Structure 1
Amino acid sequence: MSESQIIRTEYSDVMKKSYIDYAMSVIIARALPDVRDGLKPVQRRTLYDMHELGIRYDRPYRKCARIVGDTMGKYHPHGDSSIYEALVVMAQDFKKGMVLVDGHGNFGSIEGDGAAAMRYTEARLAKLTQEVYLADLDKNVVDFGPNFDETEKEPLVLPVRIPNLLVNGAEGIAVGMATSIPTHNLGEVVDAVKAYMMDNEITTKGLMKYIKGPDFPTGGIVVNKDDLAHIYENGQGKIKLRGKVEVEELKGGKKQLVISEIPYTMIGSGIGKFLNDVYHLVETKLTSDITDISNQSSKEGIRIVLELKKGADVENLENMLYKKTRLEDTFGVNMLAVANGRPETLSLKQIIEHHVDFQFELSTRKYRTLLAKEQEKKEVQEGLIKACNVIDLIIEILRGSKNVKDAKACLIRGETENIQFKSKISKKMAAMLRFTERQATAILEMRLYRLIGLEIEALEREHEQTLKNIARYEDLLNNYDSMAELIMSELDEIKKNYGRKRRTKVENAEEAVFEEKKIEEQEVVFLMDRFGYARTVDPSVYERNKEAADQENKYIVHCLNTGKICMFTDTGKMHQVKVLDLPYGRFRDKGTPIDNVSNYDSTEEQIVYICDGEQLRYAKLLFATRQGMIKKVEGSEFLVSKRTIVATKLQDEDALIGVWLVTEGQQAVLRTKGGYFLRFAADDIPQKKKGAVGVRGIRLQKKDELEEVYLFTEGTETKVKVGEREVTLNRLKQAKRDGVGTKSR
């Protein structure tokens, strides 16, 4: 046994190499499609496995669990969920321009419902997939390579006859890069490919005479037509999408808006989000034109109905929906694919170029294979025809031979030594025979019925057809125009059988502009309970339920509905919430978690002070930290538009214990956890900027910390309860800031 060696190397080099290997594996072998067939490895392997299992479009469905298990065991050892998810997507007609798998059972819905478990669903190949994606695999048209454990062979690419990368689009996130290609209309893509084949110098603009733009399975409207040329030229950009909105007249002069098509980006949870956004518009009184909203979508298609009040401004409301909801959305285009073994961002023309090159390669390999077979057939046919003309001599050779080897030697090389002939003439004729190896084998295997006159005629007709086929194949292989004409005729046939009308409208639309209804300013009361659920109610509602409200809620703030609530936390941050973002209604409504409408995270920080934002305009705030640091800050410094800012700078392991509104002439009392009190004039606290740490307010004893700050006006008796005892603040000895303080007894 040899001794193990320790290889010394730079750790960063090993990490770098390992990460690059991992990244390239994800990019090439997992996340990005190949430009030739437009498929990711998991999709290619799943379709090929279904083909190998014989789950054709004209055969019974098979359980998806069987397909997934077989694919995972033979070709794709990356977990069953990724394979099943890829299979499901290939069967969803609302995600794919052309479905590749015919699914039977619950394969999910456009509204985001997931597919049933793979043990319940069944699938088979779609007719398009069988005839356009998997045909000719037996004709050596693509290279095969070993699978992960080298027990099977799998195609490195499928012989897809259409630009699937454009027709079905692609989505994938790799390491440091992502692809996002929209779906297109099959008929238009076929026409563009033909146009390129007839004129290789055609420009992107020229191709766009055929490909008008993306054609999403959900329909909708592309509203930035003029930007498409730049997107297709560079392979990157943003497509603006809108849903299709129709106005229906109702009885009594009322109208309703019906959304019959949605942007492709709204598939799944986006529909529920859209409904919630519309509810929010109504709740926050941004619009009062909507009286009811209902989702009447079914298998027949999308139908979301917004009932409007009489006299509603329909055009303004439509524009509001485009601006404030995902009824208008953007689709980010990044046409990234694996080309020649490396990831590359491709233009529309480059994708079509790669496709046409691939088609010529497929057809060349196909017809070379077919030509070789026809030439073999021709050789055999010529041998059989020749044999029929001297059949008596061949029978004499066979009867005079002791074994097949001697008979074959005579037929191929004219060797007659080991064969008994009836006459010298026969022997002389036999010595002149020169059949090929293949012809001799065919003659020896020939059945006697082939000697019937009609069979001989059929053989001669077959030979004529074989010669025609050879001439045809040689013409295709030697003549570019003939091959191009054949490819274009095949594309026409595919378009005729599978093409369909465009579903997405492409146009230039004006920017959606709406007049935002001015919200009527009114006073409200902000309520937040100890669990962080917040809401607003009318002041009269609060007054009627004051006792219960004060008991049940941790924070109560009177404010305007057009204002903001400011929340200061122990981490030194200030979070802002628009009052309009909070639900307004009845006293017993639960409210919404404050985390949902702000950047505040209740798992990482605690609120130490809440106030009305408008209250800060002319106020001064006193900040105090656990380590005894204090400062005053102008409240106007916190009148900002950002949702979150740093309200004060903290030292290491320090935390903000509170924020107080402070006025001139007040007295401040600092109390520590250890029971020390320090009283001094609040005017002694210096004013600082919000980004400052502040100054020391009290000298803390070892392991002690500041726990509370009290403010009171001189001359008023102010008592506070500390534990079981009561302390009168105005009786404490007057001192100066930064003292040790006195311990209460």
Structure 2
Amino acid sequence: MASVSENTEKTVETGIIQEDFSVIMAQAFATYGLSVVTDRALPDARDGLKPVQRRILAGMREARYLASRPTVKSAEVVGLILGNYHPHGDTSVYDAAVRMAQPFTMRYPLIEGQGNMGSEDGDAPAAYRYTEMRLSPLAEALMADMERETVPLHPTYKQDPKVQEPDYLPGRIPPVVNPSSGIAVGLSTNIPPHNLGEVLRACIALLDRPDMTVDELMGYIPGPDFSQGGHIIGTEGIRDYFTTGKGRIIVRAEVRLEETPRSRALVVTQIPPTGRDKVKASIIKAFNARKLEGLMADLRDETDTEKGTRIVLELRKDVDAAQTLEQLYRETDLQIAISFQMVFLFGSPMQAARQPKQTGMLELLNYWNAHQLDLLTRRAQYDLRKARERLHVIEGLITGAAHAEEIVKIFQQSEDRTSARRAIEERYSLTEIQSDVIASMTLSQVTKLDSGKYQRERDELQRRIEELENLLTNRRALISLLKKEMQQLMRQFADERRTYIDVEGQPHAPITHVASLHEREPLTVAFASPGTLKALAPDTFKPKQKNGVLAYTPVRGDEQLRQVVATTTQDYLLCMSSTGRVFQIGSHRLPLVTRSAKGEAIRDLLELAPGEEIVAVVPIDAYDEDRYLVTFSRLGKVKKSPLSEYKTVDIDGAQDMKLAEGDSVVTALLSRGQGEYFVTTDYAQTLRFSDEALRAQGRVGQGVAAIALAKGGGVVVSASYYEPQGTVVDETTGEVLPELNSLLVVTEQGTLKKVPVSQYPQKGRATGGVVTTEIGDKDRVLLSMLVNEQDHLLLGWTGRSGEKGEHALVLPVSEVKAFPRVKQGVEVVNGRILTVVKLG
């Protein structure tokens, strides 16, 4: 009851207290508001969870509803949480649990659901008596080490000392990987999901550089990563909420053009973070309002579990697909604006969070890192205490083992175990704990005490105690351990980004092109002279049995092959030109033909300038930051650029490598950034240098020196990328096997040889290399390439005066003779070699 104040009047006769209603209302509303803010609507910055979510996960863990066990009825989970943890309605518990089980709601579901858990079309989940659930492996990682006194516990509303709930979870998963939204009193939060691998990499970097800038952080976390995918247009809004915790972004659906001999359709394969039902309803509304004139009156939702989202919108005949798509983005929910406000609850270690705060990404992740270090410290303190306690017991057992016979006699002569314990304690100067352990044993167990076993355990415990003490006194060791555990989580749970971020995109920029939609199918692409591309079946160059030997059969046109690459219909080809420009074309746009058929002229596919020709084709399946396009020029230059720099390149081409006068591009290849390069000149010099010696740079640049050319002349003719395999051991015999890779060296006059890569010492970039073969005065090295014994080569060659025309020869690498570097190869054809292609 409210206390009597100056606003309170008490009637003596009736005993009724009268108080100003405005005062009571203010006090009650303040209490209610604080409760909503701290106990309902806002997530904790340490685990990213609201109280109801935390109670569900902690309760399921306590009941052992683990990922390794069968699912249980959702009704059982709801009853458990209501009875022990959450004093509210069953609907609030079940809805929260279902949300954590929906892969289209959570970027990384924390509960594995079985049965109807709702859908993106707005369908409600089945009643909890029909569905089942259990914790996901990620949820178990989120709660790892709770039993080691890493987080504070308090009794639940049930007031049972055996039933306790945590103030927050260990939260080994950063709090921004899953979305969260809530409306409190005077506060609201809307937190986007992010890619787990990207966030953990950022947290690892922040451990070393907690003062990095927002732009540097965006190098690790480019932006949100929604479970439905979609495209984010521009980065200004991302930078805003990374900096201040508040921002606004534009998200578009992924829409592709599907063309068949009979029709054309726009196919929606990814949607913004909103329900499919809302997207479809907005399209129908805009169509009925005559704002989508390019569409037929037919919207088909062909979504299923195998294909994923697939909303088909038939186009009218001869309409501009790009213009219709622009109307769709403008008039429907295929493009939406989302505002973010990252409001979390903050608190001191081992205390419940009570301070709501809008926070930027840097501050939040640094706070989470500090929380993780605190967890590791408390875990180490707990382990150290337990190890010391166990060591204390072990030392008593060692004493007991040394005097086992005397202890047995003490037992036999004592009236009871209590007196025996006291006698043992006094005689051998043991503590009460040590003597109690021995006194609790049977005589048989005492006689079987193994002193050697306990001494080994003592040594192990002493080592462990030393490690833990070092961990607690050495912050660097603590940070190193945290990094290792984060990397382990990345290996276990990280996945590919789903949402594409168009860094240079503008929401209102006109749409000029709609990408085609094709299913992913394996494909072989052949690049041939004088500049043609063709798509072939994936097994076109598969070896066939002929007289009991695997072999290829050359066909007409093979002598013109310059490159054969494996790709898929969903991949793209980066085509590098001799002038240093790069082009991009989808593999599905190439004509699928037979091996002997003529391909399509590259000039009909790409916008090449007069005199410009393609010299290399590189298949790309993803524009990763940790993969690079490496370009080599004729005059010894090399340039290495991340694949992410080539996302916007198209058939019109873009400048890539700036060349000096008289220079031209020789080849381009793909690198993972961890290998080595073999660069060969026509003057028979080969340089092997490490990828670490080649710094990555932007797409447009002139590069750096790759190899120092001979003073008398010489040009680069080829380059290869090599990843050392390390020592290979025969699993049966245990013998170290020889290096499988060799460098194939081919001269213009028809000589071939292979040289083990071990004969090429690694040297610094921009040096001269070593001799790779002996050549005659009129001969020059045509090319070199890395091969192994299972490969087959296709040689295109032209005969000398006695033989006219061009020829093709298939040669297994195993039949090519190996020679030292300084020796000459063997002549394999009576003519001049034009090209050599590795078939696999």
TM-score band, normalised by the shorter chain?
Answer: 0.5 to 0.7
- Residue 38 (structure 1) shift: 0.5
For the pair 1:274 / 2:282, whether they are aligned, the reply is: yes
Partner of 2:518: none
- Residue 452 (structure 1) shift: 7.1
Question: Partner of 2:356: helix, strand, or coil?
Answer: strand
For the pair 1:331 / 2:338, whether they are aligned, the reply is: yes
Distance 2:51 2:237 in 1: 32
Distance 2:45 2:497 in 1: 24
Distance 2:165 2:242 in 1: 33
CA distance 1:235–1:445, change in 2 (3 Å): same
* Equivalent residue runs for 1:171-570 within 5 Å: 171-252=181-262, 254-264=263-273, 266-267=274-275, 269-281=277-289, 284=290, 286-290=292-296, 292-300=298-306, 301-340=308-347, 341-412=354-425, 414=426, 430=427, 433-447=428-442, 455-507=450-502, 508-512=504-508
* Equivalent residue runs for 1:21-40 within 5 Å: 21-40=31-50
- Residue 17 (structure 1) shift: 1.1
Question: Partner of 2:158: helix, strand, or coil?
Answer: coil
Query: In the alignment, residue 287 of structure 1 is paired with which amino acid?
Result: E
Query: In the alignment, residue 324 of structure 2 is paired with which amino acid?
Result: L
CA distance 1:436–1:454, change in 2 (3 Å): closer
- Structure 1 stretch 464-473 or stretch 82-91: which is displaced more? 464-473
Q: Deviations over 1:214-265 (max 9, x none)?
A: 000000001022332122100001111000011112215x42111100001x
C-alpha contact 1:111 1:272 (8 A) present in aligned 2 = no
- Residue 393 (structure 1) shift: 2.7
Question: Partner of 2:32: helix, strand, or coil?
Answer: helix
- Residue 139 (structure 1) shift: 1.1
Distance 1:228 1:378 in 2: 53
Match of 1:159 among 170, 174, 177: 170
Q: Deviations over 1:111-156 (max 9, x none)?
A: 11110011111111111212x1222222111111121231232111
- Residue 277 (structure 1) shift: 2.9
For the pair 1:20 / 2:20, whether they are aligned, the reply is: no
- Residue 309 (structure 1) shift: 2.1
- Residue 15 (structure 1) shift: 0.7
- Residue 442 (structure 1) shift: 1.5
TM-score (norm 2): 0.56
For the pair 1:142 / 2:151, whether they are aligned, the reply is: yes
Question: Partner of 1:172: helix, strand, or coil?
Answer: strand
* Equivalent residue runs for 1:580-591 within 5 Å: none
Query: In the alignment, residue 373 of structure 2 is paired with which amino acid?
Result: F
- Which structure has greater helix proportion? 1
Q: Which runs of 5+ in 1 are unaligned?
A: 415-429, 516-745
- Residue 405 (structure 1) shift: 2.8
Query: In the alignment, residue 109 of structure 1 is paired with which amino acid?
Result: S
C-alpha contact 1:320 1:514 (8 A) present in aligned 2 = no
CA distance 1:398–1:97, change in 2 (3 Å): same
Distance 2:365 2:80 in 1: 34
Q: Deviations over 1:618-655 (max 9, x none)?
A: xxxxxxxxxxxxxxxxxxxxxxxxxxxxxxxxxxxxxx
Q: Deviations over 1:421-440 (max 9, x none)?
A: xxxxxxxxx3xx21111111
Distance 1:343 1:5 in 2: 42
- Residue 504 (structure 1) shift: 0.2
C-alpha contact 2:143 2:171 (8 A) present in aligned 1 = yes
* Equivalent residue runs for 1:614-633 within 5 Å: none
- Residue 179 (structure 1) shift: 0.6
C-alpha contact 1:134 1:160 (8 A) present in aligned 2 = yes
Question: Partner of 2:211: helix, strand, or coil?
Answer: coil
Distance 1:245 1:270 in 2: 16
Partner of 2:69: 59
- Residue 278 (structure 1) shift: 4.4
Question: Partner of 1:208: helix, strand, or coil?
Answer: helix
- Residue 71 (structure 1) shift: 0.6
- Structure 1 stretch 364-373 or stretch 18-27: which is displaced more? 364-373
For the pair 1:84 / 2:94, whether they are aligned, the reply is: yes
TM-score (norm 1): 0.63
CA distance 1:149–1:171, change in 2 (3 Å): same
Distance 1:285 1:92 in 2: 34
Question: Partner of 1:90: helix, strand, or coil?
Answer: helix
Question: Partner of 2:266: helix, strand, or coil?
Answer: strand
- Residue 171 (structure 1) shift: 0.8
Partner of 2:132: 122
Distance 1:312 1:456 in 2: 89
- Residue 290 (structure 1) shift: 3.5
Distance 1:460 1:146 in 2: 41
Query: In the alignment, residue 225 of structure 1 is paired with which amino acid?
Result: T
Distance 1:46 1:67 in 2: 8
Distance 2:256 2:449 in 1: 71
- Residue 3 (structure 1) shift: 10
Size of the aligned set, in residue pairs, is: 490
Distance 1:451 1:457 in 2: 14
Match of 1:170 among 163, 180, 192: 180
**% identical equivalent positions:** 34
Q: Deviations over 1:289-346 (max 9, x none)?
A: 5453211111231101111122211111111111111111011100011112111101
Question: Partner of 1:294: helix, strand, or coil?
Answer: strand
Distance 1:61 1:487 in 2: 32
Partner of 1:74: 84
Distance 2:431 2:190 in 1: 57
Q: Over alpha carbons, which structure has the higher Rg?
A: 1
Distance 1:46 1:467 in 2: 39
Distance 2:267 2:501 in 1: 20
Distance 2:19 2:510 in 1: 65
- Residue 347 (structure 1) shift: 0.6
C-alpha contact 2:117 2:124 (8 A) present in aligned 1 = yes
- Residue 66 (structure 1) shift: 1.2
Partner of 1:581: none
CA distance 1:442–1:17, change in 2 (3 Å): same
C-alpha contact 2:176 2:193 (8 A) present in aligned 1 = yes
Distance 1:242 1:451 in 2: 74
- Residue 274 (structure 1) shift: 2.8
Distance 1:351 1:3 in 2: 59
C-alpha contact 1:30 1:40 (8 A) present in aligned 2 = yes
- Residue 183 (structure 1) shift: 0.3
Query: In the alignment, residue 77 of structure 2 is paired with which amino acid?
Result: I
- Residue 99 (structure 1) shift: 0.4
- Residue 398 (structure 1) shift: 2.4
C-alpha contact 2:45 2:364 (8 A) present in aligned 1 = yes
Distance 1:328 1:497 in 2: 34
Distance 1:41 1:70 in 2: 15
Q: Which runs of 5+ in 2 are unaligned?
A: 1-11, 348-353, 512-840
Distance 1:350 1:242 in 2: 29
